[in-house]
């Protein structure tokens, strides 16, 4: 068994994806020894994500970008706290700030993000929260669903690791679609982070993504049977 990887989760809001990672790995790696939630970083105080971290016994750090005179100073503050906690991997979970380039470079291939819609179609600056689901509905898309990707220096453009298709219903609103997609996010993110921690997923020097046994369980997806899909269907890993 490989060593337990120390993960920092970055969040800006309620932290439901953070909670799914805490439930899977815990702050000490006891539920699943692949990883442990060793730090939770937020850009603002007083948010639900901090409460979730404190309840789980995970250390926290609140680092508002506006308190720093430059992006480099903000990056230095992030790198200092990541080094202090000996962080191996970073998972962005509803974190709304652009990660500074110096942090991306230091953690290249070790920092991932979850986005609540298919990329690259529904990504980029301003595409977060209800804005994403509104865009999906405005395009009359038949399928939505979360995307997990490696993080680069821009919003939502890093190499894609996996996507899980989620059906869009004719009577969906942004809120109902968001709720349906979120249920899949909570299944997909722990699976991807576990695979990354175990070395089953890797960002190669040419920007391609290597997948080992992580992709071996791929199955088909039936749009007409959502409940069955939640219980039995594996993500559709991007080739």
Long-range contacts of 223-227 (CB under 8 A, 24+ apart): 223/142, 223/143, 223/165, 223/167, 224/167, 226/166, 226/167, 226/180
| DSSP SS3 for 42 | strand
Collect all residues with Cβ–Cβ distance below 8 Å to 41 and sequence separation of at least 6: 8, 9, 10, 11, 60, 61, 62, 63, 78, 81, 95
How far apart (Å, rounded) are the C-alpha atoms in residues 80 and 65? 14
Tokens of 128: 């977060």
Q: Which of 115, 133, 149, 186 is catalytic?
A: 115
Known catalytic membership, residue 115: yes
Tokens of 122: 């529904």
How far apart (Å, rounded) are the C-alpha atoms in residues 7 and 82? 9
How far apart (Å, rounded) are the C-alpha atoms in residues 215 and 236? 9
Q: Which of 182, 142, 160 is nearest to 237 (CA)?
A: 160
Q: Is the peptide bond before 121 cis (omega within 30 degrees of 0)?
A: no
Residues annotated as catalytic are 115
């Amino acid at each position: 068994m490989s060593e337990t990887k120390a993960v920092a989760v970055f969040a800006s809001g309620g932290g439901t994806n953070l909670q799914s990672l805490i439930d899977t790995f815990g702050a000490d790696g006891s539920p699943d020894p692949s990883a442990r939630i060793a730090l939770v970083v937020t850009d603002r105080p007083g948010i639900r994500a901090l409460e979730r971290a404190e309840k789980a016994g995970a250390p926290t750090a609140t680092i508002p970008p506006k308190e720093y005179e430059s992006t480099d100073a903000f990056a230095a503050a992030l790198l200092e706290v990541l080094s202090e906690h000996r962080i191996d991997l970073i998972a962005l979970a509803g974190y709304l700030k652009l990660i500074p380039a110096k942090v991306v470079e230091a953690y290249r291939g070790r920092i991932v993000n979850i986005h609540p819609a298919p990329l690259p179609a529904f990504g980029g600056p301003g595409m977060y929260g209800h804005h994403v689901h509104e865009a999906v509905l405005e395009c009359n898309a038949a399928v939505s669903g979360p995307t997990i990707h490696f993080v680069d220096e821009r919003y939502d453009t890093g190499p894609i690791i996996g996507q899980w298709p989620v059906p869009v219903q004719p009577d969906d609103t942004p809120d109902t679609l968001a709720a349906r997609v979120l249920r899949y996010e909570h299944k997909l993110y722990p699976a991807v982070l576990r695979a990354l921690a175990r070395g089953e997923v890797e960002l190669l020097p040419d920007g391609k993504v290597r997948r080992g046994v992580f992709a071996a369980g791929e199955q088909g997806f039936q749009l007409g049977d959502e409940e069955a899909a939640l219980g039995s269907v594996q993500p559709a890993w991007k080739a």
